[in-house]
């Protein structure tokens, strides 16, 4: 570590009466002076459209190999390299790995800094049409994107092992630098703290947003460095509290932290990692396992630990997932029967290679097959993943870590002894039209699972009205405008579905002096309390102000053992699930009705000044086949007075396939962009729950819409008139799309819709 700025430590400067802010500023000024201002290093251009990139390149001369790097407008955290080749610009996406934060182009090597990537492509074409030559001058690259950044005050604080209270004050200070900046040795403050086992400071860094994934200049994670520093307690904290993943590989060598510990001979770190669920025999790029390394270097204690290790008893035994007489097609059928839930799986015997197994799993409504290889009749493994001594252990490991699979395995499909398909528990139980309110369960008990049954819809609970139950009168009783419901008045029932932050349960709410009301309880689980509470509260605040037949009502929030939103129970649950489960039960007449009702609800929302931002069939609930309700206001925002669009400042999980071009490109949302999503929702309805744009990735969809100017195809059986509405909703220019008011009016005045129940409709 170089000398501290000003020649004295932070502790000494504070002691002599200097203010923390002044000390922070002195580091900022010092680093600004050191930053390279050489024009050849200034190829970074922040956010720039493709057109402006071309303009800048042309203005600078557009010589062969001239280049710039700009931040992608479409994909958050992603960058684009624009190069001149044969006098024409070419653009290459620089991908950012979600696991390591490393940058790469196509299948090229990963780099921890953008500067390192540029240096590589300056040194030769390496797959690009030309090597990079002159920079098109823009700005100095942000330190957090550099392989070697700068020594910040936070690095200095770690170097001094400052006391926790003072350290926290630095992190809380608005002038505190980005915590993921690497220092001149290529390490973030978290890396340095992990190598030295400064556990209290590690927890503070994590709490204030330090990324656990950022790699040091050599591609090691914080957990690798804790192992290299022989810090078993730090390893435990990182995995248990900071979500570090023991299977993350070091860029280049492919070492996981266990390799690091074995190589160095630190058996306590090995023990800790194994206790935290790490696989015992992972392989690095050259195929070596930690045991091979320990043997080579004669670390006898490590050899003992690794040889004697017994994995915990697997959660699911083979009869839960092993199928002896199932081929690829039957496997798909079984997964489809189970709803193609994320992580649903089975293991079958390969027809092509008898004696070999295949893991078949579903994710994102797609089916994936993985060969399970067998070596020396002893080791089972998938691809270049860890080795396991039995199939059970392999399955159990992938139930805990995705490690290369699209997600963790979660819902095993038991084998079928008889001809008929078994009653497979669906990963997300859904309410069916017949379900009565649950048997009351005390609030402190976990929900009781119940199996859905199916009878006629005459038992459908009628949507409660405000006068029926007396729950709507009365002012909201919290400062945020939310009604607080006493947990004592709520009983929990079975699970209806899984939401983003926790499960949605059925329940009954009985406020004193009123009848009981069946409700849906949207829970916020403990692990999401920090990350999700604001969004959760925001969703509740948006919903509290809404009162429309086609919008799910919020009765209030309830702070019991978990935070819950108490909502109107919409008896048949998700319309998407219903269409997929009962495609023959619904037809054109229902679809038109739903389309009209959604337009009506959205028209109301528009009048209230809200944009929904997540209108999709998955967020439409069915009260009955004749009444849909719009739900899931997690992304909704009020648009400011005098403005009719909302600009998103933070990215997050964006449903790109439902988004209008201006939302993807500029992050702007308006009722007009909701209209685009409405068109996609109509398309989903009329195609009976098909996935829009099939398997295309978000980037491919953008290209399809923008470059090829194409749109989703007319679903089979969809009337021309309805498809025409969809196409109008997908007008590229937002001002050319119909408004919800117009759509609503269209439905109201169309004789085809005369007998339908759409609020505002002349009956």
In angstroms, the CA 219 to CA 494 distance is 46
Could you tell me which residues are beta bridge partners of residue 95? 104
- Shortest CB 600 distance to ligand AMP, Å: 18
- What percent of the residues of the chain are helix, what percent strand, and what percent coil, each to the nearest 5? 35, 15, 45
How far apart are alpha carbons 586 and 574 in whole angstroms? 14
Residue linked to tokens 């790109």 = 656
Residue 558's DSSP bridge partners are 564
Q: Measured from the CB of residue 431, what is the shortest distance to ligand AMP in angstroms?
A: 6
What CA–CA distance (Å, rounded) separates 85 from 73? Answer: 23
Q: Tell the smallest beta-carbon distance from residue 311 to ligand AMP (Å).
A: 34
Residues in the chain: 763
What CA–CA distance (Å, rounded) separates 431 from 459? 13
Q: Is 236 annotated as a binding residue?
A: no
Rule CB under 6 A: say whether 687 interacts with ligand AMP. no
Q: Does 677 bind ligand AMP (CB under 6 A)?
A: no
Using the minimum distance from each CB to ligand AMP, give the nearer residue, 371 or 535: 535
In whole angstroms, what separates CA 356 from the centre of its chain? 34
Size of interface with ligand AMP, in residues (CB under 6 A): 20
Select from 11-19, 195-203, 291-299, 498-506 the region that touches ligand AMP (CB under 6 A).
498-506
Residues near 650 by beta carbon (within 8 Å), at least 6 away in sequence: none
Q: Single out the residue of 609, 613, 669 nearest to residue 641, CA to CA.
A: 609
Which residue among 212, 303, 335, 504 contacts ligand AMP (CB under 6 A)? 504
How many other CB atoms sit within 10 Å of the CB of residue 455? 11
Which residues sit opposite 559 in a β-bridge? 563
Q: Which residues pair with residue 628 across a beta bridge?
A: 622
Q: Which of 231, 523, 562, 567 binds ligand AMP (CB under 6 A)?
A: 567
Which range of residues in 105-113, 208-216, 490-498, 683-691 is near ligand AMP by CB under 6 A? 490-498
CB closer to ligand AMP out of 232 and 438? 438
Q: In this chain, which stretch among 1-9, 68-76, 144-152, 566-574 interacts with ligand AMP, using CB under 6 A?
A: 566-574
Q: Which helix (H) or strand (E) holds 628?
A: strand 627-630
Choose which of 169, 430, 489, 761 interacts with ligand AMP (CB under 6 A).
430
Based on CB atoms, which residue is closest to ligand AMP, 149 or 532? 532
By beta-carbon proximity to ligand AMP, the closer residue of 267 and 619 is 619
Kindly state whether residue 497 participates in binding ligand AMP, applying the rule CB under 6 A: yes
Say whether 216 is catalytic.
no
Contact between 574 and ligand AMP per CB under 6 A: yes
Residues near 589 by beta carbon (within 8 Å), at least 6 away in sequence: none
Q: Which of 614, 632, 674, 734 is catalytic?
A: 614
Task: Provide the β-strand partners of residue 504.
Answer: 497, 522
Nearest residue to ligand AMP by CB is 499
Binding mask 524-563 vs ligand AMP (x if CB under 6 A, - otherwise)? ----------------------------x-----------
Closest contact distance (angstroms) between CB of 238 and ligand AMP is 30
Region near ligand AMP per CB under 6 A, out of 204-212, 246-254, 401-409, 564-572: 564-572
8 A C-beta contact, residue 388 and residue 380: yes
Asked whether the CA dihedral 41, 42, 46, 48 is positive or negative, the reply is negative
Neighbours of 550 (CB within 10 A): 24
CB nearer to ligand AMP: give 407 or 580.
580
Shortest Å, Cβ 44 to ligand AMP: 39
Return the closest-CA partner of residue 183 out of 227, 144, 225: 144
| 271 is an interface residue for ligand AMP by CB under 6 A | no
Nearest-angstrom CA–CA distance, 386 and 284: 9
Instruction: Give the shortest CB-486-to-ligand AMP separation in angstroms.
Output: 20
Looking at 204, 271, 632, 734, which residue binds ligand AMP (CB under 6 A)? 632
Q: In degrees rounded to 5, what are phi and psi of residue 520?
A: -105, 135
Residue in 573, 601, 667, 689 binding ligand AMP, rule: CB under 6 A: 573
- From 83, 102, 190, 621, residue interacting with ligand AMP (rule: CB under 6 A): 621
Residue 570 as a binder of ligand AMP (CB under 6 A): the answer is: yes
Determine the interface stretch with ligand AMP among 59-67, 249-257, 497-505, 579-587 (rule: CB under 6 A).
497-505
Is 252:284 a contact under the CB 8 Å cutoff? no
Candidates 159, 212, 196; CA nearest to 5 is: 159
Strand partners, 174: none
Beta strands in 99-227 (DSSP E): 103-105
* Cβ contacts of 119 within 8 Å, gap of 6 or more: none
**Among 701, 693, 532, 682, which residue's Cα sits nearest to residue 620?**
682
Residue 158's CB is within 10 A of a number of other CB atoms, namely: 27
Q: Which of 84, 520, 617, 680 binds ligand AMP (CB under 6 A)?
A: 520
Least distance between ligand AMP and beta carbon 332 (Å): 24
Pinpoint the alpha helices (H) of 511-626: 529-544, 575-581, 588-607
Q: How far is the CB of 319 from ligand AMP (least distance, A)?
A: 30
Minimum distance between the CB of residue 689 and ligand AMP, rounded to whole angstroms?
13
User: Which one of 231, 631, 671, 681 is in contact with ligand AMP (CB under 6 A)?
Assistant: 631
Residue 346 or 552: which CB sits closer to ligand AMP? 552
Considering only residues 569, 615, 675, 725, which one is a binding residue for ligand AMP as defined by CB under 6 A?
569
CB-based contacts of 137, cutoff 8 Å, min separation 6: 39, 42, 43, 60
- Of 153 and 616, the one with the shorter C-beta distance to ligand AMP is 616
**Using CB under 6 A, which of the segments 325-333, 372-380, 491-499, 643-651 binds ligand AMP?**
491-499
Residues in contact with ligand AMP by CB under 6 A are 430-431, 496-500, 504, 520, 522, 552, 567-570, 573-574, 621, 631-632
Annotated binding site for ATP: 522
The residues annotated with a catalytic role in the active site are: 614
Binding-site residues: 522
């Amino acid at each position: 570590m170089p000398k501290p700025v000003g020649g004295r430590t932070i502790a000494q400067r504070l002691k002599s009466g200097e203010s923390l802010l002044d000390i922070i500023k002195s580091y900022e000024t010092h680093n600004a002076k050191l930053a390279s201002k050489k024009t050849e290093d200034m190829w970074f251009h922040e956010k720039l459209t493709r057109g402006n990139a071309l303009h800048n390149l042309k203005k600078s001369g557009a010589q062969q190999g001239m280049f710039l790097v700009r931040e992608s407008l479409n994909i958050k955290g992603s960058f684009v390299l624009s190069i001149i080749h044969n006098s024409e610009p070419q653009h290459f996406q620089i991908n950012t790995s979600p696991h390591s934060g490393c940058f790469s182009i196509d299948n090229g090597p990963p780099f921890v800094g953008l500067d390192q990537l540029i240096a590589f492509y300056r040194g030769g074409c390496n797959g690009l049409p030309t090597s990079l030559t002159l920079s098109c001058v823009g700005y100095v690259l942000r330190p957090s994107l550099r392989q070697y950044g700068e020594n910040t005050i936070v690095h200095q604080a770690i170097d001094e092992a400052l006391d926790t209270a003072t350290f926290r004050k630095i992190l809380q200070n608005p002038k505190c630098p980005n915590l993921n900046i690497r220092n001149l040795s290529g390490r973030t403050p978290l890396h340095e703290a992990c190598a030295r086992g400064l556990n209290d400071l590690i927890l503070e860094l994590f709490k204030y947003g330090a990324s656990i994934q950022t790699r040091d200049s050599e591609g090691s994670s914080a957990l690798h460095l804790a192992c290299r520093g022989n810090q078993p307690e730090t390893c435990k904290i990182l995995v248990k509290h900071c979500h570090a993943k023991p299977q993350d590989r070091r860029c280049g060598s492919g070492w996981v932290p266990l390799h690091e510990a074995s190589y160095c001979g630190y058996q306590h770190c090995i023990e800790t990692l194994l206790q935290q669920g790490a696989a015992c025999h992972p392989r690095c790029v050259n195929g070596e396992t930690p045991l091979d390394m320990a043997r080579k270097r004669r670390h006898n204690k490590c050899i003992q630990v690794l040889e004697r290790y017994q994995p915990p008893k697997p959660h699911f035994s083979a009869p839960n997932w092993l199928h002896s007489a199932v081929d690829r097609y039957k496997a798909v059928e079984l997964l489809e029967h189970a709803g193609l839930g994320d992580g649903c799986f089975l293991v079958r015997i390969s027809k092509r290679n008898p004696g070999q197994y295949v893991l078949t799993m579903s994710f994102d409504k797609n089916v994936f097959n993985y060969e399970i290889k067998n070596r020396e009749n002893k080791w089972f493994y998938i691809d270049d993943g860890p080795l396991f001594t039995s199939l059970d252990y392999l399955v159990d490991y992938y139930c805990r870590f995705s490690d290369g699979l699209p997600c963790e395995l979660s819902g095993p499909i038991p084998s079928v002894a008889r001809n008929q398909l078994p009653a497979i528990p669906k990963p997300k139980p859904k309410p069916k039209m017949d379900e009565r309110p649950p048997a009351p369960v005390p609030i402190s008990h976990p929900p009781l699972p119940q199996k859905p049954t199916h009878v006629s819809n005459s038992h459908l609970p009628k949507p409660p009205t405000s006068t029926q139950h007396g729950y709507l009168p009365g002012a909201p009783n919290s400062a945020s405008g939310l009604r607080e419901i006493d947990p004592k008045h709520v009983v929990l029932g079975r699970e209806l579905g899984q939401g983003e932050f926790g499960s949605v349960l059925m329940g009954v709410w009985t406020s004193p002096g009123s009848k009981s009301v069946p409700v849906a309880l949207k829970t916020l689980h403990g692990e999401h309390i920090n990350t999700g509470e604001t969004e959760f509260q925001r969703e509740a605040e948006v919903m509290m102000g809404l009162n429309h037949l086609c919008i799910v009502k919020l009765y209030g929030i309830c702070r019991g053992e978990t935070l819950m939103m108490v909502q109107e129970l919409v008896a048949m649950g998700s319309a998407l699930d219903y269409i997929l489960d009962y495609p023959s039960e619904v037809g054109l007449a229902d679809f038109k009705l739903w389309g009209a009702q959604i337009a009506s609800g959205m028209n109301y929302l528009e009048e209230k000044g809200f944009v929904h931002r997540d209108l999709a069939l998955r967020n439409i609930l069915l009260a009955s086949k004749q009444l849909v309700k719009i739900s899931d206001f997690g992304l909704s925002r009020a648009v400011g007075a005098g403005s009719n669009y909302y600009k998103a400042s933070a990215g997050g999980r964006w449903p790109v396939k439902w988004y209008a071009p201006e939302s993807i490109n500029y992050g702007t949302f308006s009722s007009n962009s909701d209209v685009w999503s409405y068109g996609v929702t109509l398309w989903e309805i009329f195609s009976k729950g098909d996935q829009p744009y099939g398997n295309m990735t978000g980037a491919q969809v953008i290209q399809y819409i923008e470059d090829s100017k194409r749109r989703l195809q007319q679903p089979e059986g969809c009337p021309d008139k309805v498809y025409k509405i969809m196409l109008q909703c997908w007008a590229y220019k937002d001002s050319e799309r119909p408004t919800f008011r117009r759509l609503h009016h269209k439905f109201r005045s169309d004789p085809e819709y005369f007998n339908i129940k759409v609020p505002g409709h002349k009956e």
